Amino acid sequence: MNPSFSVQYMTAVEGKVRAAHMERFGVAGTLFSAPARVNLIGEHTDYTGGLVMPMAIEFRTVAAISARNDGQATFYSANYGESRSLDIASLERAPQGHWSDYAAGVVWSLKQEGISVSGFDMSLEGDVPLGAGLSSSASIEVAVALAILSLSDVTLPLETVATLCRRAENQYVGAKSGIMDQFIVAGGVEHRAMMLDTRSLAYDLLPLPEEIRVVIANSMVRHSVATGGYGNRRDEVEEGQAVLRKVFGREMLRDASLEELEECREKMPVESYLRCRHIISENGRVLEAREALHAGDLKRFGALMVAAHASMRDDFAASCPEVDTLVEIALRQEGCIGARITGGGFGGCTVNVVRTQDTERFVAQVKSEYEKATGIKADCFVSSPSDGALALAAKGEAK
Ligand code: ADP
Ligand code: MG
């Protein structure tokens, strides 16, 4: 391909990474990129085998890779202005509490999978806000994985790419997370949300009409779960799940019904009952949300988002006053179809579905009213469902 032809279609970040790689390593790298994601509905369901509905968004992490022949791997992140080198053959599971753990963890996980990894230099840069709940972590993992796999001339199915990146995050970095992030970041499709069954990994791609945009609003607050008196949600859920397992033989909460939970109500602490009620009802809402999108019924979709927020706030007790305020303000705006907290909770972002023609005013109003109410300036991003890394690589958008 004529190089000037492909350059025309590069994003700004791709152009920067390509130039940075050339400058640092003296060769043109091959480019790969992976998006960030937002979850439309289905919160705290993924560690009990439940249903989620994320979509990939336009922010991306770009990786440039080139081979070297001494068995070393060097990662350079332009976001941090730092690099790290490691010896691939002797790489052990030894996280250093450094950004490079996400990249080293992928090398480790690929080796665990029995894939032979030879030496390389890699440059990375992303425009994903870091640590904002949009999964820059899955984004960097999947970009790194695709770049290394391509150099090794290995093609893997979506499920395997997602699973091995998740293993990097869970077992190498040491962060607890379900499969949702890596799966949507690798497998998202433009113009589509995805309903994912986190147990079977079966998924359904769902149309999001052009008449709406997804606005992500960052509340800019993050309350500490460990020290804020919120308790440990996962332990509370597990306690309830154990009761349902004993009484009804439900291996995972996913299989339990609200009626069964009701019957077990006295056998578990009230917190466990409420947390489980959120998860069981949320799985039901995800299924309904799928139907709504298939039917093009945005009103119903919006109502489900509002119900999902109330459940996160009241039953899961994982919202906070600032985020509740952000959702209330959003729901008052013209053209807002639905709004809810997204991500783990206790702060972070909200996701809002807004009519396209009202988006600009929506963003301006939400920012100004939120600042008036809390004194905090929210960050807002307008997005549409984007391609995941595999679709991007298949389309050859980055070379
Ligand atoms: P989130 O996934 O919500 O953004 P995490 O704490 O899970 O938050 O992951 C963020 C971390 O991922 C960053 O602190 C950094 O260590 C790593 N990371 C993500 N993108 C990059 C990048 N472009 N360069 C280096 N490290 C990155
Ligand atoms: Mg993350």
Domains of the chain: 3-207+386-394 (3.30.230.10), 212-383 (3.30.70.890)
Helix axis angle, 298-314 to 270-294, nearest 10°: 170
Q: What atom in ligand 1 is closest to the CA of residue 134?
A: 3
CB 76 less than 6 A from any atom of ligand 1: no
Q: Which of 4, 5, 9 lies closest to 392 in space, CA to CA?
A: 9
Pick the residue whose CA is nearest to atom 2 on ligand 1: 135
Ligand 2 centroid distance, CA of 316 (Å): 20
Q: What atom in ligand 1 is closest to the CA of residue 77?
A: 24
Q: How far apart are CA 310 and CA 313, in angstroms?
A: 5
112 burial via Cβ count (<10 Å: 0-12, 13-18, 19+): middle
Ligand 1 centroid distance, CA of 26 (Å): 26
Q: Which of 376, 308, 382 lies closest to 345 in space, CA to CA?
A: 308
Which of 102, 139, 218, when mutated, tests ligand 1's pocket best, judged by the most ligand atoms within 8 Å of its CB? Answer: 102
Q: What is the pLDDT of residue 11?
A: 86
Pick the residue whose CA is nearest to atom 21 on ligand 1: 140
Alpha helices in the chain (DSSP H): 3-8, 12-25, 100-112, 136-151, 158-167, 180-187, 233-248, 258-263, 270-294, 298-314, 321-332, 359-374, 389-395
CB 133 less than 6 A from any atom of ligand 1: yes
Q: What is the pLDDT of residue 232?
A: 85
Q: Which of 291, 37, 284 lies closest to 183 in space, CA to CA?
A: 37
Ligand 1 centroid distance, CA of 99 (Å): 7
Of these residues, 46, 101, 121, 181, which one is catalytic? 181
Sign of the alpha-carbon torsion through 104, 110, 113, 117: negative
Give pLDDT tens digits for 355-384. 999 999 999 999 999 999 999 999 999 999
The ligand that comes nearest to the alpha carbon of residue 38 is 1
Which of 76, 130, 219, 342, when mutated, tests ligand 1's pocket best, judged by the most ligand atoms within 8 Å of its CB? Answer: 130
The ligand that comes nearest to the alpha carbon of residue 84 is 1
Residues of the chain with pLDDT under 50: 1-8, 227-229, 399
Ligand 1 centroid distance, CA of 332 (Å): 33
Phi, psi of 346 (to 5 degrees): 60, 35
Q: What is the pLDDT of residue 122?
A: 98
Pick the residue whose CA is nearest to atom 6 on ligand 1: 131
Our measurement of the distance from residue 392's CA atom to the centroid of its chain's CA atoms, rounded to an integer in Å, reads 17
46 is catalytic: no
Ligand 1 centroid distance, CA of 61 (Å): 10
Give pLDDT tens digits for 149-185. 999 999 999 999 999 999 999 999 999 888 999 999 9
pTM, two decimal places: 0.94
Give pLDDT tens digits for 271-283. 999 999 999 999 9
Q: Which of 188, 154, 183 lies closest to 169 in space, CA to CA?
A: 183
In this structure, which amino acid lies at residue 348?
Answer: G
